[in-house]
Amino acid sequence: MNKYLLKGLLFSVPLFIYAAIIIVVDPYNFLNFSSVISDEDKFRVIQRTDESSPRGNILWKTLEFKRKPVKNLIIGDSQGRDINTELIGELTGEEYYNFCFPGASFNTMFETFWFAVKYVKPEKVYFQVAFMNYNTHREYDLFHFAQDYFDRPWEYFTTKEIFIDSFMNLVWVITRNPKVINRSYEFLNQQELQHLAQFRLDLFFKKYEYPQNYNREFKKIKAYCEAHGIDLEFIILPVYKAVDEHLRSVGLFDQKLRFKADMQSLGTTYDLDRLSEIKSERSNFIDYFHPQPAIMDSLVTMLWARGGLIGE
């Protein structure tokens, strides 16, 4: 009997170690009682790869928002990830929450809106929208990376991604090796970024179908906002001029104009994609679609500063 008990205990040791690592590290503050690793380090580890960043940002931000809801929201995709809410706070005196997720589709943004209104009655909602995802063939939903854990909390201990994230947190805080956290596309060299930019042009625009269902969902959101006294507005960020050149070459530029018209029909739309002085310089963008952080700060100031576009 004692022999079998000993074998059972030995067999259980790896499971205890596995669970202990997740409990102690708690890479998303899901359990929210361990502070062995700082939030700053945890969030940095989330960004480490193009695989971890989409799912990690969604789970991190939804958990953070549930604990402390904010009444002013910015919902979008990776283009808006660097919208600096601290800078907006300095400019306006108001608190904003950035719900822009790398890889987010319009479906993901819709789910994020309906998630947020369960926890707060927003005062202002800004959708950062982009033509690159305004396509029926880009119809997918990443919000399950949060919802799965809300519906089945035990999966926090049974999915390999959570354990890998926990392990990578330990590696990062022990070694401080930048290779642990610097493996996303943002750290590619210029030649690799150029190749990636062309790949993404093909990915986003090789097949296109006008997304009737997106427009219908936005109309539902608009009706909800009007019924509840929520200001709903839209932001279109600039892309490098080569994107528009590609759209013209494949016959999709008119569809981009239709996308902008759709947004304008839904509410006030700030079209920063008209800023030719920004669009014309390759150095203003990480790849073709994502403005450099310094450029993003200038756009935020343009929008939210006193006398800016939003403040008018």
Please write the tens of the pLDDT for every residue from 31-40: 998 889 999 9
> How many angstroms separate the CA atoms of 91 and 241, rounded?
29
What confidence score (pLDDT) does residue 196 get?
79
Q: Specify which residues 126 forms β-bridges with.
A: 74, 233
* Domain-located, residue 211: yes
Of 286 and 278, the structure prediction assigns the larger pLDDT to 278
Residue 299, token pair as written in the block: 């756009």
* Domain-located, residue 311: no
What confidence score (pLDDT) does residue 44 get?
94
pLDDT band at 275 (very low <50, low <70, confident <90, very high): very high
pLDDT digits (tens, 9 = 90+) for 15-74: 788 888 999 999 999 999 888 999 999 999 999 988 999 999 999 999 999 999 999 999
Q: Are 113 and 167 in contact (CB under 8 A)?
A: no
Locate tokens 């005062």: which residue?
123
> Three-class SS of residue 299?
helix
pLDDT digits (tens, 9 = 90+) for 120-159: 999 999 999 999 999 999 999 999 999 999 999 999 999 9
* Domain-located, residue 310: no
What confidence score (pLDDT) does residue 241 get?
96
* Region 160-172 average pLDDT: 96
What confidence score (pLDDT) does residue 17 get?
86
Q: Which residue in 210, 211, 272 sits closest to 79, CA to CA?
A: 272
Structural domain including 187 reads 2-304
Q: 10 Å Cβ neighbour count for 197?
A: 21
pLDDT band at 193 (very low <50, low <70, confident <90, very high): confident
Whether 1 shows a pLDDT value over 60: the answer reads no
> How many angstroms separate the CA atoms of 44 and 41, rounded?
5
pTM: 0.92
- Which DSSP helix (H) or strand (E) runs through 278? helix 276-279
Q: Which residue in 111, 147, 106 sits closest to 128, CA to CA?
A: 106
Q: How many domains does the chain have?
A: 1
Q: Specify which residues 128 forms β-bridges with.
A: 235
Q: 10 Å Cβ neighbour count for 302?
A: 15
Chain centroid, CA 252 distance in Å: 25
124-129 and 72-76 beta bridge pairing: parallel
What confidence score (pLDDT) does residue 250 get?
95
* Domain-located, residue 312: no
Q: Are 291 and 303 in contact (CB under 8 A)?
A: no
| Burial class of residue 224 in the structure, from the number of CB atoms within 10 Å of its CB (0-12 exposed, 13-18 middle, 19+ buried) | middle
Of 309 and 239, the structure prediction assigns the larger pLDDT to 239
* Domain-located, residue 309: no
CATH of the domain at 89: 3.40.50.1110
Q: Which residue in 29, 58, 61, 24 sits closest to 42, CA to CA?
A: 29
